[in-house]
Amino acid sequence: MGKEYLTEAAVFECPLGMRYIAQEPVNTKAEYKGKKLLTSAAILLPNQKPISCKFIPPLPGVPPICPCIVSPLIDTIKHKATMNLLTMDAKAVCAAKQIVKATKSGSESRVMYEDAHSAHVAAIAWPKSENQSKNKTADGNKTQSGSDVKNSPDAKSQEVATNKDEKKIQQTNGDVATKTVAAAEAEETLTFREGMLCSHSKNNPKCRECAYRLDNEPATVNNSSVILRKNYNANKPHSDKYDCYFDETVEPLGNSKENKWSYAAHHLISGNQVFKQNAELVRLARFCGYDINGYENCIMLVGYPKDYPDGERMKSVKAYDVMSEGRVQWHVGGHSYKFTEEEKAEICKQIGIRNKIKLTPGDIKTYAELVQGEVERLRDRLAAKKNRQMICYVDQNAKRQLCEKLNRISQKIKVKLAAFSDVGKPHHSFPFFVSKEAYRYTYALPRTGKVITVLKEDSKLTLSMFRLEHFTEAIAEQDKSLLIKPKDSITLDLNDDMWQSECILFCDNVSFFVYLEDTPRDVLPFAVNKEYQFPKEQQATGTDGHQFLTQHDTEILVWLRDNPQYGYISPALMVKNRSKEYLFGEAGDNDEIL
């Protein structure tokens, strides 16, 4: 949940009600309505007269001193967290170990941002008491009438004695306060979260003020595709081969369409779906300055065209059209997709053919599962390393190395996703597919198939058989989803007594039929399941079967995908079953549709 920014008009309070205002010494650029936004370098200054502090042991005859009232305050309450902008969750810790929190943001309206880190404060050198300051002021302002009184030996002697007493009291107060702080720090037991990924130690002085140790905030991730796209654009012109291909080919191609494509800045390491699930790694990455929205974690993909339909089948058609033309993975649909067991079996078969890798259905992993595995392996390596050798991420070199490790995971994934653009070889992306449709496009589409177009004109019935091929290597250069090859054709006279037998023999073991124009769906002498009739409803198709198949090639490809052929029936057995159905009005025992 976002919080309000803190500005220099923010107000802080300790548990006893002591109020402070903030000064921002570092940030000179980020402002909100003319007020500087606070960073973790902000300094708190008192905004009222000192008050008594019950958390400090009192001295005999001297009121307890507020530990936060010193001059200058820059050496006392100072935020020690990293340079993130602060929100209403920010806090400081005084030497009395009390939390000083923001009570007013200084913003005129709510500005959403991710949670800030807690801050810590070093030990404070205690100030003089309020009574001492008043006594000194009163003594300094005393006046006497007459030079004899002012210069008398008794007056001088009294002044010297007073000064000595004040110094003694001041020294005593300071010594006691210093001892109190030292004792408090000695008694403080450093606590460490279970599962921390550094070689922490109670004996390491760096651990006392380490922001990673003190970061007990929720493991939130500011996953923003808008910021990701801005960072991608900020790195133009690109030198990466895939980025150049997207900038110079894919985006202009999509923009030239009547129904323009949309583009998606994709997080290679998904922030909320993957990274956020590893809380301790998120805290460490936050401490080290890793940016989930950095250019290194970005790849550009394609999404909805402007005319994106509602129906699931036509959604697939549009997705395959875009992937065929752009040779870029489809981003729409989520990264934790599911397949049926039949689909998984077919995918495994095709992976064996194209990638020469033998898999079982249980081996098929989604994009989210694969990335999660990469991140978890890094986490486990870091956990093992901290036990083998001393590793402290306060060191800037260690911070840089952690960010590089995360960026190497992103680069590994990007290389695979970019390989989808290899001409005719989308399977080079295996095993990383960001969407179900990208996975299906690569492995679940039928490689070959046969269809028959059916056209009835008066008393004539024309049947034409076509072989359809979807070999990505073959279609890559042709701007098509299918290669359509005419095989045979026949025209039957419906007045001939033998036309039914000739029709059954011609249809062989083909199961898919495309009905042209207003041809009745029951014109054939055997029944055809509705799932194997195309188009679903009668429509104006024209009388040229080859032309119609060419114009609707992607839609036909999805139709074949959605009605896969499991098993095989020989032409002889299919002819026998259909002849029996025609002659006796019933199907044979093995009449299964391919």
Q: Which two tokens stand for residue 169?
A: 């009291």
Q: Which two tokens stand for residue 431?
A: 């095993």
Do residues 349 and 363 make contact, with C-beta atoms less than 8 angstroms apart?
Answer: no
* Ramachandran sector of residue 218 (left: φ over 0; alpha: ψ -120 to 50; beta: rest): beta
Residues 6+ apart with CB under 8 A from 157: none
Taking the CA atoms of the chain, what radius of gyration do you get in angstroms?
39
H helices of 261-340, in order, are 279-288, 312-326
Overall pTM > 0.85: no
In tens, the pLDDT along 344-392 reads: 998 999 999 989 999 999 999 999 999 999 999 999 999 998 888 788 9
- Which positions of the chain have pLDDT values less than 50? 1-2, 69-82, 110-150, 162, 166, 169-170, 172-174, 176-187, 588-594
Do residues 173 and 126 make contact, with C-beta atoms less than 8 angstroms apart?
Answer: yes
H helices of 356-507, in order, are 367-388, 396-418, 436-443, 472-475, 499-507
Residue 283 φ then ψ, to 5°? -65, -40
pLDDT of res. 9? 85
3-state secondary structure (DSSP) of residue 239? coil
**Alpha-carbon separation of residue 139 from 155, 165, 282, 499 (angstroms):** 12, 13, 59, 129
**Alpha-carbon separation of residue 583 from 312, 520, 578 (angstroms):** 39, 21, 9
In tens, the pLDDT along 448-460 reads: 889 999 999 999 9
Helix 436-443, helix 341-354: angle, nearest 10? 60
Instruction: Write the DSSP string, 545-569.
Output: HHHHHHHTHHHHHHHHHHS---S--
